Amino acid sequence: MSQSTTNLTAGPPAQKTGSNSLTAGLMPGWTWIVVAGAALVLGAAITVVLSDQFAVVGWVVLSGLLYIVGMYLITLVLETRRRATDMLWKNLVWTAFFIALVPLISVIWTVVANGLPTLISNPGILTDDMSNVVGADDQATAAGEAPLMGGILHGLIGTLTITLMAMVFSVPVGLLASIYLVEYGTDNWFSKAIRFFVDVMTGIPSIVAGLFAFSGMTLFVSTFISDSPAALQSVKMGLTASIALSVLMIPVVVRSTEEMLRVVPNELREASYALGVRKWRTITKVVLPTAMSGIASGVTLAIARVAGETAPILVTAGYAVSVNWNVFSGWVTALPVYIYRQLINPTAPAAPDPAAARAWAAALILILIVMGLNLLARVIAHYFAPQKSGR
């Protein structure tokens, strides 16, 4: 511990400053490079000895381990135990970062590498649906005798209509409910209950939301229309899926809008009241416009979240092969469901490759849509934020 008393500041070791009292007892700044080099060489040697061949994954993992252990031991010898522990945890935190990067990069790379070639060679996939594609077509494609048939248009249209419909349900309810929470029922028991149950709703598994919409619609149809098998069959439609998505979307909208309304300064409301403006006019003309950029970005994020949902649509909307603009009747396919079905039940079970190619292209498009919506939300929040006065 003798050194640590001379180094009260535990900051990074200074570079070469000769033998001044601040850097006494610290190891030189280039130590880590030496250790890293040694770890890489040793790691390569051990990999080759153990497995008779050079494996990149094993090499990287082994070298990382050797580096962490090596740095710990060297710091322990050259500096103090406390600094060695600090070094160990610093390296472990960096390792956590790299460990997390690997699968995430791998996911993106897999989608782009599998989806982009199909999209480039078959741009028609965006404007075609699956209504004329049968197993024989895919077998011909797999054998190299025909171009890739079919497309994802019906999936795009399905996602668009279902998501829009979900928006129609959940945005007004979410907005008004959060206005109630912030402006009317500030801290009464009812607003506390709403806040609690909105939190509960955030945790509803998406497939349970799907089951809810399905059971609700089944009960509605069998009670008010008819309980014949044909009527029960008609329960599966875009509208049912939209209800399921609304259940997932409302809590997100409420939470983000509530936060945005809360940060609107009270002075604005009071100024408006002082001019004799009514409360509802104050809310619609003063509070909402001030918070509008934040609300819009929150709603966009909520849309992005539900646009990628698969499970609730899978159990509520059936599976169609052609474009269906009508949310109120007939089966609909959304893009995520299309991906799932093409991968799990290929059009031609004997030749799944063309189906997989379409699925990966659809996955790429879906990621682009969802990420695009996320970026859009950031842009809205950033550029349409109310101007700050120069106070």
**Alpha carbon distances (Å) from 183 to 252, 261, 275:** 19, 9, 18
Among candidate residues 355, 285, 339, the one with its CA nearest the CA of residue 307? 339
User: Cβ 280 to other proteins, closest distance in Å?
Assistant: 4
What length is written for the chain? 391
Q: Which is nearer to other proteins, 33 or 96 (CB)?
A: 96
User: Cβ 310 to other proteins, closest distance in Å?
Assistant: 4
Among candidate residues 161, 155, 170, 198, the one with its CA nearest the CA of residue 300? 170
User: Cβ 52 to other proteins, closest distance in Å?
Assistant: 15
Q: Which is nearer to other proteins, 41 or 309 (CB)?
A: 309
Exposed e or buried b per residue across 187-207, where buried means at least 16 C-beta atoms within 10 angstroms of its C-beta: eeeebeebbeebeebeeeebe
- Cβ(161)–Cβ(238) under 8 Å? yes
User: Cβ 301 to other proteins, closest distance in Å?
Assistant: 8
User: Cβ 173 to other proteins, closest distance in Å?
Assistant: 5
User: Cβ 144 to other proteins, closest distance in Å?
Assistant: 22
C-alpha–C-alpha distance, residues 127 and 132, integer Å = 13
Q: Which is nearer to other proteins, 21 or 387 (CB)?
A: 21
Structure tokens at 276: 């004799």
Q: Which is nearer to other proteins, 22 or 146 (CB)?
A: 22
- Cβ(327)–Cβ(239) under 8 Å? yes
- Cβ(293)–Cβ(380) under 8 Å? yes
User: Cβ 389 to other proteins, closest distance in Å?
Assistant: 27
Q: Which is nearer to other proteins, 76 or 88 (CB)?
A: 88
Q: Which is nearer to other proteins, 90 or 262 (CB)?
A: 90
User: Cβ 191 to other proteins, closest distance in Å?
Assistant: 7
Q: Which is nearer to other proteins, 153 or 366 (CB)?
A: 366
User: Phi-psi region for residue 150, left (φ > 0), alpha (ψ -120 to 50) or beta?
Assistant: left
Burial of 127: CB neighbours in 10 Å, binned 0-12, 13-18, 19+? exposed
Q: Which is nearer to other proteins, 220 or 384 (CB)?
A: 220
Q: Which is nearer to other proteins, 33 or 107 (CB)?
A: 107
Transcribe 220-288 into DSSP letters: HHHHHT--SHHHHHTT-SHHHHHHHHHHHHHHHHHHHHHHHHHTS-HHHHHHHHHTT--HHHHIIIIIH
User: Cβ 321 to other proteins, closest distance in Å?
Assistant: 14
Instruction: Name every residue whose Cβ is closer than 8 Å to that of residue 282 and which is 6 or more positions away in sequence.
Output: 269, 272, 273
What is the number of alpha carbons within 13 Å of residue 175 lying toward its C-beta?
Answer: 19
